[in-house]
Chain A
Amino acid sequence: MQRLYGRSGLAILEEWFTLIDRLQGGDLDTQLREVNDFFNRRVRWLEDTQIWGTEDYWATPLETMGKRQGDCEDYSIAKYVTLKELGVPGSKLRMIYVRARIGRSQINQAHMVLGYYETPSAVPQVLDNLVPSITPASQRTDLDPVFSFNSEGLWAGGSSQSRADPVARLSRWRSVIERMQQQGFLS
């Protein structure tokens, strides 16, 4: 970590470990709030092209923390992984593609947030990097949900491990999951 991202990289990782230790076994609302705040405060929003020099790169939490930069899906992935680390069941967390109207302008932008579903049919709590607080989705009139996913379907068929297929790299989502596993997350 230090080799790749220097002192600041190491520092944020240590903070993240402290956060995990502190929130472990804690109350769910606190967990959601603290995790949301941790990434929203420490990671600066930038376009992928500016950070990675490529269109739409899905970074792992380690990369996001190391760079202290990320775009919407990088926030969502980092929060998703952190919450799973804290023992929140994966089936209750879904990444949601949304259409966002930013500010008062009528500009629509493709955006991604993390939703927490208390039950499968419930209205989710939205963890967004554009808005500091966690709000139920019904209050977020600026967002139109389009589609959601999580890693549940990937591991269907009994195996708890993503299959180490070369084809997994062809899908962005599966690719980032692979890389996270290599870096020691999602174990």
Chain B
Amino acid sequence: MSLIKQLWLAITTLLLLAFVGSLLIGVTSSRHYIEQEIEIKNIDNANALALSMSQMEKDPVILELLLAAQFDTGHYQRIELRDAEGEIIEQRTAGEHIEDVPAWFVELVRFDVPAGRAVVQNGWQQYGTLELESQHSFAYRSLWRSTLELAGWFALAGAVSLLLASWIVNTIRRPLRNVVSQAQAIGQRRFMMASEPRTRELREVVQAMNQLSYAVRQMLGEESDKLDQLRRRMQHDPVTDTLTRVPFLDQLQAHLNSEKEDASGTLAMVRVARLGELNQHLGHAGTDALLVRVARRLDQLANLYGYGTVGRLNGSDFALILPRHHDLEALGNDLAERLRSLGAELGTVVSLPSALCQYRQGEARGQLLASLDGALASAERQGEFGQVMVDQPAANVLFTRHDEWREALSDALDQGVLLAHYPVLDARGEMIHFEVPSRLRLKEEWRPAGVFLPWISRLAMAPTLDLAVVSAALADVESRGKAVAINLSSDSLSDGHFVGELLSRVRAHQRIADKLWFELPQSAAMQQPQALRTLCHALLGLGCRVGLEHVGTQFGKIEGLQDLGLSFMKIDGALSQEIESRGDQQSLLRGMATLAHSLGIMAIAEGVESQGAADTLFELGLDGVTGPGIREQSTNGG
């Protein structure tokens, strides 16, 4: 039985006890009082009548008249005069007049009043005994009336008490419900904070749970800081605090392999020319300072355009990936402008040539870097701030103008999306779900997402595409019965119409909700934690799972991570490149998996290139793998 029910039961029982008890006491004491009054009246009237009769002549007619007069004008049930031997001389009786009182009530209270008795004297001798009973039928009626009234008042008081009680119960229940939901959330490893209720006992519980949540949050922050420091130490150039060559190239490779928006964009290289001379001229410390300033300038650019990565490829060369940006001209000018102003600030003669090119999904990294390197060499020959842009082979470009893209994408969306299927497997080789990146039919061919996603997001068509993908995925699950992970973009997350539409579609397919996994980029969690939280709770309520993709070491810093209720996270492919041979990287991934597990989050590695890497990752404690090296066992043949 629930606590609230018990509370209600106790209150109702108490009220009933109090009311029935006071009703009983009320009726009993009234009955006693009435009995006493009638008894006194019986005794007194009997004595008074006997006294008058004693003074009278004992003529039968006179006695009868006296008795009749008393009976007729008074309120009596019976008056009897018996002689000394007990023979009746005179008698008057009347029946009971009990009207509109239920028989059971009369039976229940039934007065027990002794008759009044007195002796009539005739001189010294006893003439006879007078016995007299008063009419008390009226008493039943008034007692019944007062009982009804009392019951009425009690009903009223009871109703008021119940109202009051329901208010009290509600004030108890509301915080209690909050406490329970917090406890359940903690049970699901969602460490949320709750506001403290006013009830002392509940407050203590909530305080304890809040403390736990707080400790978890602290722990997350600390662990995540540690991981981040570890990553920095491993991957960052100690002088400029930019990525070193290997992790930078890993990142580039991850983009080139990606099926997402980041799959195409601009790659730029900047050289600090004649570094050896500068070193002699400025000294070691001066040169380091200069390098730092160049790196910061590039960082600024990366942050300005968003999603950018800066790396130091070697002593003098910096590189910058700016995904999703394709306007080489504008970027080049901006870059050159910044480098020039930096040169002016530095005052010393410094040469900062640069080169830019576009990259696209599927391109070979080596080729890309080689051509950019060549361009940089020719830029260096152009002068201090020379710049070269690598021309794009025209064949690679589907459309050139915005309106062309828009039209083509709308048409393609009207035709519908095709979903590719990439398996996500667990350590036993069993299917966790399919990743289903979308394909759109553009220029008579199904094109991978990397081709059109940058344009989708540039043309603000992300919500439309996402909804199309959701519909296709729902249909897919209905027909195949296999779980899928549906990508949602950050842009869609902030679109109210999209969120409402998404939820209603999922609700329409409630039956398969447990086969729907939704994933959002980590950047969405960093930038719009509140919107993510709302969506997460709504989708979790429907029985779906929500997770993050492209997760890096900073994931512990996501605001309210412990209370989002995430089911899984996919760790960025850049972190698991060539994992078998890199011990430092392994400890990083192990730490991330442990942290994720402490929150009840499943850790999955993205971009896994071989079964060997997958085995290593499972040893590190990851729960699932996906990527080009992962094939479904049935197609694999074992």
Q: Tell me, yes or no, whether A binds B.
A: yes
User: Which residues of A does B touch, CB under 8 Å?
Assistant: 94, 96, 115, 117, 119-124, 137-138, 145-149, 152-154, 156-158, 165, 167, 170-171
CB pair A153–B43 under 8 Å, yes or no, is: yes
Residues of A within 8 A of B121 (CB): 96, 145-148
CB pair B40–A94 under 8 Å, yes or no, is: no
CA separation between A147 and B114, bound complex, in Å? 22
Q: Out of B36, B47, B55, B115, which one reaches A156, CB within 8 Å?
A: B115
Residues of A within 8 A of B125 (CB): 121-124
CA separation between A171 and B115, bound complex, in Å? 17
Residues of A within 8 A of B252 (CB): none
Residues of A within 8 A of B55 (CB): 146
The interface residues of chain B, by DSSP majority, are classed as mixed
Q: Out of A117, A138, A146, A158, which one reaches B126, CB within 8 Å?
A: A117
CB pair B117–A146 under 8 Å, yes or no, is: no
CA separation between A158 and B117, bound complex, in Å? 13
CA separation between A152 and B50, bound complex, in Å? 15
User: Which residues of B does A touch, CB under 8 Å?
Assistant: 36, 40, 43, 46-47, 50-51, 54-55, 83-85, 112-119, 121, 123-126
Q: Which residue of A lies closest to B51 (CB)?
A: A147
Most buried by B among A121, A123, A146, A170: A121
Q: Which 8 interchain pairs have the tightest Cβ spacing?
A: A157-B114, A120-B84, A137-B124, A153-B117, A121-B84, A156-B114, A120-B126, A145-B124
Q: A138-B124, A146-B54, A153-B43 are in contact. List 11 more A-B contacts (CB 8 A).
A: A121-B125, A121-B126, A122-B125, A124-B125, A137-B124, A145-B121, A145-B123, A148-B121, A153-B118, A157-B112, A171-B43
User: Shortest beta-carbon distance, B79 to chain A, in Å?
Assistant: 15
CB pair B116–A121 under 8 Å, yes or no, is: no
CA separation between A171 and B36, bound complex, in Å? 14
Q: A119-B84, A120-B126 are in contact. Are A167 and B117 (CB under 8 A)?
A: no
CB pair B84–A152 under 8 Å, yes or no, is: no
Selected A-B contacts with CB under 8 Å, 11 pairs: A115-B124, A120-B84, A122-B125, A124-B125, A145-B123, A146-B121, A148-B119, A149-B119, A152-B117, A154-B43, A167-B40
Q: Which residue of B lies closest to A174 (CB)?
A: B43
CB pair A149–B36 under 8 Å, yes or no, is: no
Residues of B within 8 A of A165 (CB): 36
Residues of B within 8 A of A115 (CB): 124
Q: A121-B85, A153-B117 are in contact. Are A147 and B126 (CB under 8 A)?
A: no
CB pair A148–B126 under 8 Å, yes or no, is: yes
CB pair B54–A147 under 8 Å, yes or no, is: yes
User: Shortest beta-carbon distance, A169 to chain B, in Å?
Assistant: 12
Residues of A within 8 A of B84 (CB): 119-121
Residues of B within 8 A of A152 (CB): 117
Residues of B within 8 A of A119 (CB): 84
User: Shortest beta-carbon distance, B238 to chain A, in Å?
Assistant: 105
CB pair A147–B50 under 8 Å, yes or no, is: yes
User: Shortest beta-carbon distance, A147 to chain B, in Å?
Assistant: 5
CA separation between A3 and B54, bound complex, in Å? 45
User: Shortest beta-carbon distance, B476 to chain A, in Å?
Assistant: 93
CA separation between A164 and B118, bound complex, in Å? 21
CA separation between A138 and B125, bound complex, in Å? 10
Q: Which residue of A lies closest to B50 (CB)?
A: A147
Residues of A within 8 A of B85 (CB): 120-121
CB pair A153–B46 under 8 Å, yes or no, is: yes
Q: Which residue of B lies closest to A138 (CB)?
A: B124
CA separation between A119 and B117, bound complex, in Å? 18
Residues of B within 8 A of A123 (CB): 124-125
CA separation between A12 and B123, bound complex, in Å? 36
Most buried by A among B51, B83, B125, B126: B125
Q: Which residue of B lies closest to A154 (CB)?
A: B43
CB pair B50–A157 under 8 Å, yes or no, is: no
Q: Which residue of B lies closest to A98 (CB)?
A: B124
CA separation between A72 and B368, bound complex, in Å? 143
Residues of A within 8 A of B43 (CB): 153-154, 171
Residues of A within 8 A of B46 (CB): 153
CA separation between A119 and B83, bound complex, in Å? 12
Residues of B within 8 A of A167 (CB): 36, 40
Residues of A within 8 A of B51 (CB): 147
User: Shortest beta-carbon distance, A61 to chain B, in Å?
Assistant: 23
Q: Which residue of A lies closest to B127 (CB)?
A: A121
Q: Which residue of B lies closest to A152 (CB)?
A: B117
CA separation between A117 and B84, bound complex, in Å? 11
Residues of B within 8 A of A148 (CB): 119, 121, 126
